[in-house]
Chains A and B, each alone.
Chain A
Amino acid sequence: MKFTRITNKLDKLNEFDREPVPQHKLQGIGNFLGIYGGEHIAATGFVTGILWIAHGVSVKELFIGAFIGDLLAVLSWTLITAPIAVKARLSIYWQLRKICGPVLVFIYNVVNALMFCILAGAMIAVSATAVGIPFNIDMPGLNDLYPHSIGWVVTVFFVGAGITTIAILGFKSLGNFGKVVVPWLFLVFIAAAVSCFSEVGIEPGMKNFWEVANNTIWTGVAKEGRLQFNIWHVILFTWMVNAAMHLGMSDLTILRYARKWYYGLASALGMYGGHYIVWIASGIVYSAATSDAPGMVAYQAIGITGAICVIVAGWSTANPTLYRAGLALQVVSPNWQRWKVTLIAGLIATFAAMFPALVMRLLDFVALYGLILIPMGGIIFADFYLNEKLGMQKYFAEKHGISFNTAAGITWLILLISALIANQVIGVNLFFLPAPTWFAAILLYLIFSLIYQKRITKNLRTI
């Protein structure tokens, strides 16, 4: 009974896009260029650029590794996600519901909501590093994991409260403000890097750029307490930083409006304009700074504009993330209004933000986020392309009124446990796990589905 109530609630929340997107609502590529450009020019990029230097990535490893990783990400969106999106024209919620059943989708929703809260928390913390500057707040260092001062906790609380309040008051109108912010952010990131050229020793004409990049900026030596990365860390992280969206298939929700599958190539604007350029720019800015806190780094480079940039970048990422978290959490709340669930999401995010680990270990968190959700993307891929070819049924849960597809559930659970063992016991770095996990999800789901579907259909015949 309780599951039925939750199911109905979940369905009602997603009611507006229950049906496949009709032809007349499809959109041109310009819309997707805007979406991907806007989404990936963000505060996370600023922090990632800093962390590459901290982990001793060399200039060659960054420039080549990030290029390859971004290319793999673009190809994942274009060749894996977009073709399914334009054929099925369903959001990830309905696609998963047809395959896995409403109960498993509910669990997925809750996990996704928690991940969104933590990601929003990281962005609140980033903004707090800039807000705290005029008050001389003691900023967290690279190796700080826990709250280290009352000033930091209070600053994070007020920033989190502010962002949550704005999210409650009017997400839609503020979404328009996001359009204003993104082009400006891109310019500021570049301007901040150029401002630091003379500081790091890059001469006009840029003849000594590679020499400075090698010897001063991306030296290839990890900072104390940090794991030494190589090109494989860069390639795999860059590819999987948005794993939840491409191989994890959550961008089905966006790309279902695309006229053609190759609109997935629009993601290149986000990857190269957002990640690639911003990571390089923030690395240059960080190498000229005397702090590890993003706000202080930007402030030292370009003054108040830099501080505003970090505040705005953190806020513009946290706001929609908080909104999505609130939306996902609505399914567990007892008929609460949107503002109440957004408040809960904001409280969780603000509490998480008090731990500097969220910023200083952002690469690990983002890799973990992708790892947890990527198996579902493999399940969608397998179900869409391979189930019928192997004599099984597609959308099995929907066809047989099943609320929890055990084959999908067990696949997800086994892969999460395996990833945990691989990371914690064997010591495999998180960045190396999402790709094999996706392939393993396809294989395991097919095997379990063979057994599961045979058993269910046999039981139905017996009845």
Chain B
Amino acid sequence: MKQTIKKLYWLRIILIIISIIGAAFTLVPSFFDWLGIISSGQSKALMLTGTILWFFSATYLFNWESNKDNI
């Protein structure tokens, strides 16, 4: 039981980190594009990556309570 709780705790931390990275990749590349640090194509690719990361992690995170029962 303790092992499972510990695993769930770390899983949640990982999901939070991935969500933050996803959110950052969604927003930040546009600023880099504007400042000329990266190209428009690179910005779009990074934003798409951020979108995928966000939807993957946030879906589990925001529904954590109901998913926990299934783990």
Question: Taking beta carbons and an 8 Å cutoff, which residues of A are in contact with B?
Answer: 176-177, 179-180, 183-184, 187-188, 190-192, 194-195, 197-198, 202, 204, 302-305, 308
Contact = CB atoms under 8 A, between A and B. Distances in A.
A180 B58 contact: yes
Given A195-B34, A195-B43, A303-B48, A180 B62 contact: yes
Given A184-B51, A184-B54, A204-B34, A305 B27 contact: no
Contact of A305 (B35, B40, B44, B58): B44
A187 B31 CA distance: 12
Contacts of A308: 51
A202 B31 CA distance: 12
A187 B23 contact: yes
Given A180-B59, A184-B23, A195 B30 contact: yes
A284 to B, nearest CB: 11
Nearest to B65: A176
A194 B34 contact: yes
Contact of A197 (B29, B34, B59): B34
A184 B44 CA distance: 15
A78 B51 CA distance: 35
| Interface of A, helix, strand, loop or mixed by DSSP | helix
B62 A191 contact: no
Interface string B14-40: 000000000100110111011110001
B26 A195 contact: no
A305 B62 contact: no
A180 B63 CA distance: 9
Contacts of B44: 302-305
Contacts of A191: 26-27, 29-30, 47
B10 interface: no
Given A192-B30, A204-B35, A304 B48 contact: yes
B33 A187 contact: no
A391 B43 CA distance: 67
A303 B27 CA distance: 14
A177 B59 CA distance: 7
- Indicate the member of A187, A204, A304 with the most B CB atoms within 10 Å: A187
10 contacts: A183-B58, A190-B27, A192-B30, A195-B33, A195-B40, A195-B43, A302-B30, A302-B43, A303-B44, A304-B44
Nearest to B61: A180
A202 B36 CA distance: 12
Contacts of B43: 195, 302
A184 B31 contact: no
Given A179-B62, A198-B33, 5 more contacts: A176-B62, A187-B27, A194-B30, A194-B33, A303-B48
Given A195-B34, A198-B33, A304-B48, A188 B26 contact: yes
Contacts of A304: 44, 48
A305 B47 contact: yes
Contact of A198 (B27, B34, B58, B62): B34
Nearest to A179: B62
- Indicate the member of A194, A195, A204, A305 with the most B CB atoms within 10 Å: A305
Interface string B44-71: 1101101100110011001100100000
Nearest to A190: B27
Contacts of B47: 188, 191, 302-303, 305
Contacts of B48: 303-305
A183 B36 CA distance: 26
Contacts of B27: 187, 190-191
A99 B67 CA distance: 44
A194 B59 contact: no
Contacts of B36: 198, 204
A184 B34 contact: no
A176 B26 contact: no
Contacts of B59: 177, 180
A12 to B, nearest CB: 29
A219 to B, nearest CB: 22
Interchain residue pairs A-B with the least CB separation, the first 5? A303-B44, A194-B30, A191-B30, A195-B30, A305-B47
